[in-house]
Homo-oligomer: A and B are copies of this chain.
């Protein structure tokens, strides 16, 4: 899908939030996750392997969350009943994230859109993009906990093209760092500036 055609996907536009972080903050976070130039190169290779699988990956994540009744009200209606319109509206943006996480340069547009994604998980902006009727806030603990699923399940997708084990290791390590970098930045709206 052409990203500019995805409804609500405001990456690189003036409609996205403005990140409170500086590019120096970003350099520090990259250094702490250990993301190197080699990782950035390897991520472009990972993008080629994942491009055709992003849709399946996100469907698998949602299936996992769908098996947990206490999670239903965050993606369904507030009473936990299904909200397929909301799921359909937000899915192309989530799919796009898989590729973006492997290919986007880490610049001001990146900072801004990651802040936007963080906000869209909180009561500041959840539901508004898709005018959805759903709980208005995803607790931070579930965002973080679910990161384990995204990271642990990535290995099989990265191995799907039959790359040698050492290359799968490299892609998996780089993807792990990238996902943690993204999710870390998404937590900014959840925490007081002095504590974050």
**A contact residues vs B (CB 8 Å cutoff):** 28-29, 31-35, 64-65, 68, 70-71, 122, 137, 139-142, 144-149, 151-152, 155, 165, 169, 172-173, 176-177, 179-181, 183-185, 187-188, 190-191, 195-196
Please report whether the interface of chain A is mostly helix, strand, loop or mixed according to DSSP: helix
Would A176 and B195 count as touching, CB distance under 8 A? no
A10 to chain B, nearest CB (A): 24
Residues of B within 8 A of A188 (CB): 141
A184 and chain B: residue at smallest CB distance = B144
Copies of this chain in its oligomeric complex: 2
Which residue from B32, B35, B140, B142 sits with its C-beta under 8 Å from A142? B32
A180 to chain B, nearest CB (A): 4
A151 and chain B: residue at smallest CB distance = B176
A-B contact pairs, 27 of them (CB 8 A): A29-B141, A29-B142, A29-B145, A32-B65, A32-B141, A32-B145, A33-B146, A33-B148, A137-B195, A140-B187, A141-B188, A144-B144, A144-B180, A144-B183, A144-B187, A145-B184, A148-B180, A152-B172, A152-B173, A152-B177, A155-B169, A155-B173, A165-B165, A190-B191, A190-B195, A190-B196, A191-B191
